[in-house]
């Protein structure tokens, strides 16, 4: 007797709608709807994930405008200190490395929930939040040192462009940290399980985005002469 | 790319991995293997164990498939015990009999999506597990699986196959490469001989890092192509906007002193 598994939760099966069950929507609440791979949406894609990608695309433009502004004013500030006088490249390199490694721990958290391993999920989420906190702490210290050197938001073209760009990035990282802690709390209370990896994936997309923005900032702001 | 049995639930339970399949010379259909799915051929989805049949023109993505006939012939997975006794198991006249039938879990198999060009009637939900190969084959006849639940007119790349991502080992390798590139970037900054070339070197290195994070950590490489277009569109607009501002500034005010 031969049989091949026909599992209910097939990646190809329209998991919702085909049998009269409701399509997941934002109104259902963040965790109430099961995550299907192929929802009966007009795109065939999960709308929540699509929304996050569209948000990230718009955030690209937001940071693109800030980076463009910084590059426009680069080298045109007449009031000292200039960037190469106050930047501590080894220190910022460590910060960049920390944020880069937080991307690794974030993706390991996703791999953990996909393996239905809640313990490792929480470990990696907390590690990611911790690395993000280290990055933010480093940025706060850097801002403090620059302030001591006389550089602030109103000081010069360089000060305005630098603090606006890196400050908004820091705000994004801070939001990401709270998001990760929220996900950790959900996992701890049993409201996040292996059937909902999409929630971790979406949080991960946001976290990786702040990492790639820092990749650009680190090169354009700190390393390029 | 090596199959991670943990990531492939059904294959993992069957003890199938890429090494075993390669040893048995079983072709694997997937993004990193043979991307073109053979038409009208029963294929076993290595994630679910489901048998799926595609029409002509479909390409595989991150979900991996093997031909059911190849599995039978190699005596792998559910056909482990059948191979020596039935080398010609692919023929209907000599049905293979696996020692360990896979537990079917069809509580309510949904109606199969069909292509608009072939509006086959959807079968009634199956309330029981098919117990014979004949039953499986019969259900396949009406299950013309497509890569899209909504029946787009043309096959969509990788639609069937979101969410199959690299394993932890691949992530560690990628992170090591990223860390190395970061170290190279910082080293380039401190080498005076490279100063004349620092701009292109750093730009290229950061682009490599950017693409690796987006492609592997954000899984854009493995996800549906639409996400690439959406994100790439925003990124292109951002680049165009920032570059045009810089070019306008240089055109109107010239390069800053020292350049």
Q: Tell me how long chain B is.
A: 259
Give, in words, the CATH class of A47-223: mainly alpha
Q: Does residue B143 carry a pLDDT above 70?
A: no
Q: Which residues contact B241 (CB under 8 A, 6 or more apart)?
A: A61, A64, A65, A68
The whole-model pTM stands at 0.62
- ipTM for the whole complex: 0.80
- CB contact A119 to B (< 8 Å): no
Using one digit for the tens of pLDDT, what is the confidence trace for A3-44? 343 333 333 333 333 333 334 433 343 333 333 344 567 777
Q: Are the CB atoms for B162 and B220 separated by under 8 Å?
A: no
Residue of B153, B154, B186 for testing the chain A interface, max A β-carbons within 10 Å: B186
Contacts of B11 in chain A (CB under 8 A): none
> Residue B164: its pLDDT value, please?
58
The vertex-B18 CA angle with B136 and B83, nearest 5°, equals 50
Task: Name the helix (H) or strand (E) containing B44.
Answer: strand B43-45
- Residues within 8 A of B (CB atoms), A 81-110 only: 89-90, 93, 96-97, 100-101, 103-104, 106-108, 110
- The pairing of strands B51-52 and B43-45 is antiparallel
- The pairing of strands B28-29 and B43-45 is unpaired
> Distance between CA B195 and CA B200 in Å, rounded?
10
Domain ranges of chain B: 1-164, 168-253
For residue A93, give both structure tokens. 């390199």
Fill in the DSSP letter of residue B47.
T
> Residue B90: its pLDDT value, please?
40
Using one digit for the tens of pLDDT, what is the confidence trace for A203-217? 999 999 999 999 999
Record: contact B165-A223, CB cut-off 8 A: no
> Residue B29: its pLDDT value, please?
82
Q: Residues B122-127: what's their mean pLDDT? A: 37
> Distance between CA B149 and CA A122 in Å, rounded?
34
> CATH 1.20.120.80 residue ranges in chain A?
47-223
């Amino acid at each position: 007797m031969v049989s091949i598994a026909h599992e209910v939760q097939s990646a190809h099966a329209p998991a919702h709608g085909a049998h009269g069950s409701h399509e997941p929507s934002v109104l259902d609440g963040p965790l109430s709807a099961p995550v299907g791979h192929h929802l009966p949406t007009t795109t065939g894609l999960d709308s929540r994930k699509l929304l996050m990608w569209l948000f990230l695309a718009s955030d690209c433009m937001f940071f693109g405008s800030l980076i463009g502004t910084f590059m426009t004013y680069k080298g045109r500030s007449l009031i000292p200190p200039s960037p190469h006088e106050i930047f501590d490249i080894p220190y910022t390199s460590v910060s960049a490395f920390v944020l880069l490694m937080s991307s690794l721990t974030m993706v390991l958290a996703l791999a953990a929930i996909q393996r239905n391993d809640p313990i490792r999920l929480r470990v990696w989420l907390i590690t990611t939040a911790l690395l993000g906190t280290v990055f933010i702490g480093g940025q706060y210290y850097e801002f403090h040192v620059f302030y001591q050197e006389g550089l602030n938001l109103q000081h010069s073209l360089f000060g305005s462009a630098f603090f606006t760009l890196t400050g908004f990035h820091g705000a994004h990282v801070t939001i990401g940290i709270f998001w990760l802690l929220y996900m950790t709390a959900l996992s701890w209370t049993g409201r996040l399980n292996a059937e909902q990896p999409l929630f971790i994936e979406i949080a991960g997309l946001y976290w990786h985005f702040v990492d790639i923005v820092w990749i650009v900032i680190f090169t354009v702001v700190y390393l390029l002469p | 790319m090596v199959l991670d049995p943990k990531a492939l639930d059904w294959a993992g339970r069957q003890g199938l991995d890429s090494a075993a399949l390669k040893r048995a010379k079983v072709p694997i259909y997937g993004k990193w293997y043979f991307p073109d799915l053979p038409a009208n051929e029963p294929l076993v989805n290595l994630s679910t164990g489901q048998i799926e049949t595609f029409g002509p023109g479909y390409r595989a993505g991150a979900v991996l498939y093997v031909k059911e006939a190849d599995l039978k012939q190699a005596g792998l997975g559910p056909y482990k015990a059948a191979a020596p006794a039935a080398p010609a198991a692919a023929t209907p006249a000599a049905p293979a009999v696996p020692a360990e039938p896979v537990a079917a879990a069809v509580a309510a198999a949904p109606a199969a999506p069909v292509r608009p060009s072939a509006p086959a009637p959807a079968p009634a939900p199956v309330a029981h597990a098919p117990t014979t190969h004949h039953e499986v084959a019969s259900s396949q006849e009406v299950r013309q699986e497509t890569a899209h639940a909504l029946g787009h007119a043309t096959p969509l790349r990788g639609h069937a196959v979101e969410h199959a991502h690299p394993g932890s080992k691949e992530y560690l390798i990628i992170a090591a490469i990223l860390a190395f590139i970061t170290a190279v970037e910082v080293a380039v900054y401190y080498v005076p001989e490279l100063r004349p070339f620092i701009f292109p070197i750093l730009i290229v290195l950061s682009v490599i890092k950017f693409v690796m994070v987006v492609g592997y950590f954000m899984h854009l490489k493995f996800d549906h192509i639409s996400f690439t277009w959406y994100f790439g569109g925003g990124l292109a607009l951002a680049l165009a906007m920032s570059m045009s501002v810089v070019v306008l500034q240089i055109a109107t005010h010239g390069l800053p002193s020292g350049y």
